[in-house]
Amino acid sequence: MGVRETKKKELQEKILKAAKELFLEEEFDQVTMSKIAKRAGVGLGTAYNYYASKEELYLVAGGTAYILGAESDIDNVPFSVEELINTLVNEIKKMTGIEKSSWRVSLSSLTKAAEKKPSLFLELIEIDHLFIEKVEEAINKLQTKGDIKADVSVSLLVELVYDAIFTSLLFYFYNEEETVEELSNKLSDKLSILLKI
């Protein structure tokens, strides 16, 4: 990697780190690109060169990338199906630390931002692939151990697990009455049905 590429990567990481910190400290509506740029120690124009909007940064730095990406506890290989289920539920519970209203605003804004920059969805899918790969690796190991039936398609099972997580989270974000405990129990039940077949 050349000097220019290294500098670009460092700037991008500074902006992501600043955004992550701010989204954890403040409500979504209170965070601005100006605040993110200031925290990162870069100019506002530089921040916009890397990210089109705070909504994009929210989901890349404060949403799934932060919560389900490189910092995932799934890296610690589970010894049982129950341990994998507990780990997945705990990972998803991290996402409930951000207000439901912030998620709704962000998801709505993301849809609008993606109309202007369709590659944004591809970036988010790539982030989710990191999470999916970790889940797939864990399921493969459990299947090799005999904890998950050998005749079950791992790739299909991983897709179903991801679908269960995604839909459970969406229902949680849009249902003000649903508690974190209810989300956890519902998700645990769904994952048990899928992984204990």
Q: DSSP assignment of 23-81, as one string?
A: HHHS-GGG--HHHHHHHHTS-HHHHHHH-S-HHHHIIIIISHHHHHSTT-GGGS--SSH
Predicted confidence at residue 69, as pLDDT, reads 47
Greatest pairwise CA separation for the chain in angstroms: 55
pLDDT of residue 129: 76
Fold of 54-195: Tetracycline Repressor; domain 2 (1.10.357)
CB 69 within 8 A of CB 130: yes
| Phi, then psi, of 36 in degrees rounded to 5 | -65, -45
Q: Which pLDDT tens digits describe the chain residue by residue (197 residues)?
A: 788 888 888 898 899 889 888 887 887 778 899 999 999 999 999 999 988 788 778 777 655 544 444 456 666 666 899 999 999 998 888 888 777 887 787 777 777 777 777 776 676 666 677 778 888 999 999 999 999 988 889 999 999 999 999 899 999 999 999 999 999 999 999 999 999 86
Asked if the domains at 1-51 and 54-195 fall in one CATH topology, the answer is no
Q: What is the pLDDT of residue 61?
A: 66
Domain range list for the chain: 1-51, 54-195
Superfamily of domain 1-51: Homeodomain-like (1.10.10.60)
What local confidence, expressed as pLDDT, does residue 125 receive? Answer: 66
Q: What is residue 183's predicted lDDT score, i.e. its pLDDT? A: 97
